[in-house]
């Protein structure tokens, strides 16, 4: 990568970081107050060494006690002013940061939840969660302290050097030849040693992973008599960590020795040069004292600047990661509202030569030239081996993805002409693997219709054959279901999902065989509830058990993304050469 290219990327990165400050715009007045008191704090810091130098000068020249007391009072006033301005600055920056981060988090989550399903195919949930938590937490440090520290550091370095030139240009030039070189070498050496610390931390994390895995899988370890194998693995890793630590300690010892010789040597050299200038009458003792203090301030700030720069780099990286998400185009979803009469569905569906490829698998045709008409209120079943394209048809009906070719029509209208939210408001899904939120039963059922009354929720639960077990719990509808519904059985979760769909009262219902993993009693109750749910609406059923779809109005048999058979159960079993007959024989015989 060329230097020019690196600079261009850096400019883009900084530009992206500055985009974050639009979230700060509503709080800019408080930010400007904080910035003003930052300048006051920096000015007070720069005045402090000079006043101390004057105090020393007065002491060495036998000036009156009155003048010494006056300077002392000024010093006390500067300290008080510095304390007050530091308090106000910190308070203002924290207030602005807290409000800004809340706005960034809200905007990021709002954007994330509206991204299309194609985005989530490429990203892992853990990574996305990291973006909205860890990355934004890095920005918190940047907005609260890093930017302020950077400005303060630069101001003090520049202001300090200016003061040094006023005291003695010769001594300043001498100091600039000695001190910055030592500081820069210390920074580079420090980064090198920090690399060893990171290796040690990484090694400790890896050794902890071995402990965690072996203790979680201790049954397997013992079953395979691998206790000493794992002991050897852990010992090897911890020995590596120890060796890395020893090597890092050796370099740290050299670094410590260098810092003593380098930093103190540099200060001794400056004082030596200053005493020569005192002896020739070019400066006085007070000026030399101020000079040494300013030099120490500048050295400290230069050392700290590397840390501030590293923090800024982390923040820029976090910003780039965040804007990768924020720059992704969102779906055209809107708040739920009363559906416009022109967009109300009757339930007629038509696939016209539909082909589809998933965005992350562009080379594979998942569906190929699918053409089928589904009449309103019909029950349609999709059957076929795994990977045939059944779930993809469901995903397309919900407009999770755009078709690669062809059209999907609802009541003769292209689905792309129906607002996304209004389309999904009229479709309900009962999946095979039901996901329940970790709140109450009430909240999970009402997810299908947030404004439903308690009577409506109870009625939906009764129709879903769920009220009997809900009524038996201590808190009834206010019973906590636990993470992903862990407190409920599989059959109970399915019936909660059916109640949710019933409360939504959809025009089109999608069922991913909801009884395949249930015991006989739960299957009977869920099947009864599903039959109630399917009445009077178009139903699309992904079927794994053919016994559950014998009454379907039309069965579509898919293989390798194509419809290879269609018809009723009776029609399809009569075709003894077809796939449906083979599947039927396999299931009913077993």
3-state secondary structure 285-305: HHHHHHHHHHHHHHHHHHHHH
Q: How confident is the model at residue 8 (pLDDT cuts 50, 70, 90)?
A: very low
The stretches of 114-226 forming alpha helices (DSSP H) are 117-122, 125-130, 136-141, 147-167, 169-216, 218-223
Q: How far apart are alpha carbons 351 and 82 in whole angstroms?
A: 73
Q: How far apart are alpha carbons 183 and 162 in whole angstroms?
A: 19
**Residue 538 forms beta bridges with which residues?**
508
Nearest to 500 by CA among 564, 436, 543: 436
pLDDT, residue 476, reads 79
Report whether pLDDT(4) > 60.
Answer: no
Q: How confident is the model at residue 484 (pLDDT cuts 50, 70, 90)?
A: low
Nearest to 164 by CA among 267, 289, 295: 295
Count CB neighbours of 451 within 10 A. Answer: 7
pLDDT, residue 142, reads 66
CA distances to 58, 138, 284, 348 from 31, in Å:
41, 19, 42, 58
Which residues lie closer than 8 Å to 90 by C-beta, 6 or more apart?
Answer: none
Which residues lie closer than 8 Å to 178 by C-beta, 6 or more apart?
Answer: 266, 269, 270
| pLDDT tens, position by position, 534-543 | 788 888 888 7
- The number of helices, as runs of H, and strands, as runs of E, in the chain is 20, 10
Report whether pLDDT(344) > 80.
Answer: yes
User: What are 164's two structure tokens?
Assistant: 């040094």
Q: How confident is the model at residue 522 (pLDDT cuts 50, 70, 90)?
A: low
Q: How confident is the model at residue 3 (pLDDT cuts 50, 70, 90)?
A: very low
pLDDT, residue 517, reads 52
HSE-up of residue 290 (Cα within 13 Å, Cβ side): 29
Q: How confident is the model at residue 6 (pLDDT cuts 50, 70, 90)?
A: very low
CA–CA–CA angle 339, 340, 344 (5° rounding) = 70
Q: Which helix (H) or strand (E) holds 81?
A: helix 65-113
Q: Sheet containing 538-542: which strands, arranged edge to edge?
A: 427-430, 508-512, 538-542, 379-383, 554-559, 562-567
Which residues lie closer than 8 Å to 365 by C-beta, 6 or more apart?
Answer: 355, 356, 357, 561
Tell me which of 2-16, 160-174, 422-436 is least confident: 2-16
CA distances to 55, 78, 90, 281, 528 from 44, in Å:
16, 6, 16, 29, 79
Tell me which of 65-69, 195-199, 372-376, 472-476 is least confident: 195-199
pLDDT, residue 209, reads 76
Rg for the chain, CA atoms, rounded: 36
Q: How far apart are alpha carbons 229 and 561 in whole angstroms?
A: 48
Q: How far apart are alpha carbons 440 and 51 in whole angstroms?
A: 67
Most confident by average pLDDT, 251-265, 274-288, 554-568 = 554-568
Mean pLDDT in residue range 262-279:
75
Which residues lie closer than 8 Å to 319 by C-beta, 6 or more apart?
Answer: 13, 16, 17, 19, 20, 135, 139
Mean pLDDT in residue range 431-459:
82
* Dihedral sign computed on CA atoms, order 186, 191, 192, 198: positive
Report whether pLDDT(427) > 50.
Answer: yes
Mean pLDDT in residue range 290-311:
72
Nearest to 561 by CA among 354, 365, 374, 396: 365
**Residue 354 forms beta bridges with which residues?**
370
Q: How far apart are alpha carbons 561 and 367 in whole angstroms?
A: 4
Q: How far apart are alpha carbons 247 and 462 in whole angstroms?
A: 70
pLDDT, residue 515, reads 57
| pLDDT tens, position by position, 395-418 | 888 888 888 888 899 988 888 888
What percentage of residues in the chain have a pLDDT greater than 90? 0
Mean pLDDT in residue range 308-325:
71
Report whether pLDDT(9) > 60.
Answer: no
Task: Specify whether the CB–CB gap between 284 and 60 falls below 8 A.
Answer: yes
pLDDT, residue 520, reads 60
Q: Where are the domains of the chain?
A: 1-168+307-331, 169-282
| pLDDT tens, position by position, 34-59 | 888 888 888 888 787 777 777 776 77
Of 445 and 205, more confident: 445
Report whether pLDDT(477) > 80.
Answer: yes
Determine the topology of domain 1-168+307-331 in CATH: ABC transporter transmembrane region fold (1.20.1560)
CA–CA–CA angle 303, 262, 178 (5° rounding) = 75
Tell me which of 114-123, 178-187, 282-291, 437-446 is least confident: 178-187
């Amino acid at each position: 990568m060329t230097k020019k290219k690196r600079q261009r990327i850096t400019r883009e990165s900084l530009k992206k970081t500055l985009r974050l400050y639009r979230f700060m715009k509503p709080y800019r007045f408080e930010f400007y107050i904080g910035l003003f008191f930052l300048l006051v704090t920096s000015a007070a810091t720069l005045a402090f060494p000079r006043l101390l130098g004057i105090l020393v000068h007065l002491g060495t020249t036998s000036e009156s006690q009155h003048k010494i007391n006056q300077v002392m009072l000024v010093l006390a006033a500067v300290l008080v002013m510095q304390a007050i301005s530091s308090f106000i600055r910190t308070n203002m920056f924290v207030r602005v940061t807290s409000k800004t981060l809340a706005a960034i988090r809200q905007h990021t989550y709002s954007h994330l939840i509206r991204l299309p399903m194609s985005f989530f195919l490429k990203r892992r949930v853990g990574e996305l969660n990291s973006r909205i938590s860890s990355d934004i937490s890095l920005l918190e440090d940047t907005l609260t302290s890093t930017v302020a520290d950077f400005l303060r550091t630069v101001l003090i370095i520049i202001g300090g050097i200016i003061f040094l030139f006023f005291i003695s240009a010769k001594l300043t030039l001498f100091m600039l030849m000695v001190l910055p070189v030592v500081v820069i070498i210390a920074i580079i050496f420090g980064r090198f040693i920090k690399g060893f610390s990171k290796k040690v931390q990484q090694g400790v994390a890896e050794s902890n992973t071995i402990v965690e895995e072996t203790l979680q899988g201790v049954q397997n370890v013992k079953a395979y008599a691998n206790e000493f194998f794992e002991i050897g693995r852990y010992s090897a890793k911890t020995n590596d960590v120890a060796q890395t630590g020893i090597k890092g300690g050796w370099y740290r010892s050299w670094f410590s020795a260098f810092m003593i010789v380098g930093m103190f040597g540099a200060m001794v050299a400056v004082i030596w040069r200053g005493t020569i200038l005192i002896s020739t009458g070019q400066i006085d003792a007070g000026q030399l004292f101020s000079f040494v203090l300013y030099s120490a301030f500048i050295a400290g700030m230069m050392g700290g600047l590397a840390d501030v720069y590293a923090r800024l780099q982390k923040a820029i990286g976090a910003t780039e990661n965040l804007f990768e998400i924020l720059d992704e185009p969102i779906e055209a979803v809107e708040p739920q509202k009363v559906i416009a009469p022109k967009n109300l569905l009757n339930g007629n569906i038509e696939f016209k030569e539909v082909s589809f490829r998933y965005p992350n698998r562009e080379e594979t045709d998942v569906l190929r030239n699918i053409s089928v008409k589904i009449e309103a209120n019909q029950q349609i079943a999709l059957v076929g081996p795994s990977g045939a394209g059944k779930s993809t048809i469901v995903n397309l009906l919900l407009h999770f993805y755009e078709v690669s070719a062809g059209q999907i029509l609802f009541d003769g209208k292209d689905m792309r002409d129906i607002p996304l939210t209004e389309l999904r408001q009229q479709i309900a899904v009962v999946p095979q693997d039901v996901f329940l939120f970790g709140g109450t039963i009430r909240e999970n059922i009402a997810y299908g219709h947030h404004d439903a009354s308690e009577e409506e929720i109870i009625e939906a639960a009764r129709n879903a054959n769920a009220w009997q077990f809900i009524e038996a719990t201590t808190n009834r509808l206010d019973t906590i279901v636990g993470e992903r519904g862990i407190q409920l059985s599989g059959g109970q979760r399915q019936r909660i999902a059916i109640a949710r769909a019933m409360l939504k009262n959809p025009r089109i219902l999608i069922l991913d065989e909801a009884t395949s993993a249930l015991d006989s009693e739960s299957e009977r109750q869920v099947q009864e509830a599903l039959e109630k749910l399917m009445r009077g609406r178009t139903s699309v059923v992904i079927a794994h058990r053919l016994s559950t779809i014998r009454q379907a109005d039309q069965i579509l048999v898919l293989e390798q993304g194509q419809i290879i058979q269609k018809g009723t159960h009776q029609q399809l079993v009569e075709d003894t050469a077809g796939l449906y007959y083979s599947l039927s024989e396999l299931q009913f015989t077993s």
